[in-house]
A and B are shown apart, each in its own frame.
Chain A
Amino acid sequence: MADSTLAVEFRNIDKAFYGVKANDNVNFQLRKGEVHALLGENGAGKSTLCSILAGLYRPDAGEFLFEGTPTVFKTPKDALAAGVGMVYQHFRLVSNLTVAENLALGHPKLGMSISQAELEDDARQLGEEYGLPVDPAARIWQLSVGEQQRVEILKLLYRQAKILILDEPTAVLTPQEAQQLFKTMRQLASEGRSVIFVSHKLHEVKQVSDRVTVLRDGTTVGGADTADAEPRDLARMMVGRDLELPTRDAQHDVGDAMLIVDDVRVAGDRGLEAVRGISFEVRGGEVLGISGVSGNGQRELAYGIVGLRTPTSGTVTVDGEDVTSLSVADKIDRGVAYVPQSRLGMGLAPGLTTEDNLGLKAYRKPPYSKGLMLAASVFKERGQKWIEKYDIRGVRPGLPIRLLSGGNLQKALLAREVELNPKVLIARSPTRGLDVGATEAVRNLVLAERAKGTAVLLISEDLDELLALSDRVLVLYEGQVAGRMPAEEATPERLGLLMAGHKEEAAT
Chain B
Amino acid sequence: MTTRRIIVEPRGLASLGLTLAVPAASVLLALIVGAIFLALTGNSPGEVYVKMVDTAFGSQRGLSETLISATPLILTGVAAAVAFKMLVWNIGAEGQFIMGAVFAAGVGIALGSGTPALIAIPVVILAGAVGGAFWASVSAVPKVYLGVNEIITTLMLNFIALNFMYYLIFGSSSPWRDPEVSQFPSGRPIPDSGRIPEILDSQRLDYGFFIAVAFAILAWFLISKTKWGFEVRVVGDSSDTARYAGIAVPRKFLGVFLMSGAFAGLAGSLYVAGPVGALDPRSLDLGLGFTGIIVAALARLNPVAVVPVGILMGALNNAGPSLQSIRVPAATVEMLQGAILIFAVAGEFFIANRLRRPEKKPQPVAAAEGGEA
Question: Could you tell me which A residues sit within 8 Å of B by CB distance?
Answer: 1, 9, 11-12, 14, 16-19, 25-29, 58-63, 70, 72, 213, 219-223, 306-308, 327-332, 338, 340, 342, 344-352, 356, 360-361, 363-364, 369, 372-374, 376, 396, 398-400, 403
Contacts and interface: CB of A to CB of B under 8 A. Distances in A.
A338 B234 CA distance: 17
Nearest to A217: B373
B369 A61 contact: no
B13 interface: yes
B225 A376 contact: yes
Given A345-B240, A349-B234, A373 B363 contact: no
B9 A58 contact: no
Contact of A374 (B229, B238, B240, B243): B229
B252 to A, nearest CB: 13
A280 B229 CA distance: 40
B12 interface: yes
B244 A11 contact: no
Given A60-B358, A308-B243, A327-B246, A349 B237 contact: yes
Given A12-B371, A60-B4, A396-B13, 9 more contacts: A14-B361, A27-B371, A219-B373, A220-B369, A351-B238, A364-B246, A373-B225, A398-B13, A400-B13
B359 to A, nearest CB: 7
Interface in B237-253: 237-238, 240-247
Interface in B126-158: none
A61 B2 CA distance: 5
A12 B9 CA distance: 21
A427 to B, nearest CB: 14
B282 interface: no
Interface in B1-22: 1-4, 7, 9-13
Interface residues of B, number: 41
5 contacts: A11-B365, A14-B359, A60-B4, A70-B1, A349-B241
A400 B229 CA distance: 17
A463 B356 CA distance: 44
Nearest to A11: B366
A209 B367 CA distance: 21
Given A60-B358, A373-B227, A346 B241 contact: yes
B230 interface: yes
A360 B234 contact: yes
Nearest to A307: B246
B204 interface: no
Contacts of B367: 1, 9, 11, 29
A28 B234 CA distance: 44
B114 interface: no
B51 interface: no
A374 B225 contact: yes
Q: Which 4 A-B pairs have the closest CB atoms?
A: A329-B246, A328-B246, A223-B370, A27-B371
Contacts of A26: 371
A332 B225 CA distance: 23
Contacts of B246: 307, 327-332, 361, 364
B244 A350 contact: no
B238 A60 contact: no
Contacts of B364: 12
Nearest to B229: A374
Contacts of A60: 3-4, 7, 358-359
Contacts of B243: 308, 328
Nearest to B14: A398
Query: Which of A58, A70, A372 has the most CB atoms of chain B within a 10 A radius of its CB?
Result: A372
A338 B2 CA distance: 47
A340 B238 CA distance: 14
Nearest to A360: B245
Contacts of A344: 238
Contacts of A364: 227, 246
B344 to A, nearest CB: 21
Nearest to A345: B240
A142 B216 CA distance: 52
Query: Which of B245, B247, B367 has the most CB atoms of chain A within a 10 A radius of its CB?
Result: B245
A340 B2 contact: no
A110 to B, nearest CB: 32
A213 B369 CA distance: 8
Given A61-B2, A327-B246, A400-B13, A213 B370 contact: yes
A197 to B, nearest CB: 16
A72 B1 CA distance: 11
Interface string B14-38: 0000000000000000000000000
B244 A308 contact: yes
Contacts of A63: 1, 363
A503 B358 CA distance: 58
B368 interface: yes
Nearest to B2: A61
Contact of B237 (A9, A16, A351, A372): A351
A59 B3 contact: yes
A222 B370 contact: yes
Contacts of A348: 241
B226 interface: yes
A402 to B, nearest CB: 9
Nearest to B360: A61
B370 to A, nearest CB: 4
A61 B361 contact: yes
Query: Which of B228, B234, B365 has the most CB atoms of chain A within a 10 A radius of its CB?
Result: B234
Contacts of B7: 16, 60
Contacts of A70: 1
A362 to B, nearest CB: 10
Contacts of B366: 11-12, 27
Contacts of B363: 11-12, 61-63
Contacts of B13: 396, 398-400, 403
B241 A363 contact: no
Contact of B10 (A18, A27, A352, A374): A18
Contacts of A19: 9
Query: Which of B242, B358, B367, B371 has the most CB atoms of chain A within a 10 A radius of its CB?
Result: B371
A111 to B, nearest CB: 34
Contacts of B229: 374
Contacts of A342: 240
Interface string B332-367: 000000000000000000000000001101011111
A244 to B, nearest CB: 24
Contacts of A347: 241, 244
A338 B246 CA distance: 12
Contact of B245 (A361, A369, A398): A361
B12 A399 contact: yes
B364 to A, nearest CB: 7
A331 to B, nearest CB: 8
A494 B74 CA distance: 67
Nearest to B238: A349
Nearest to B242: A349
B227 A72 contact: no
Contacts of B226: 372-374
Contacts of A308: 243-244
Contacts of B241: 345-350, 360
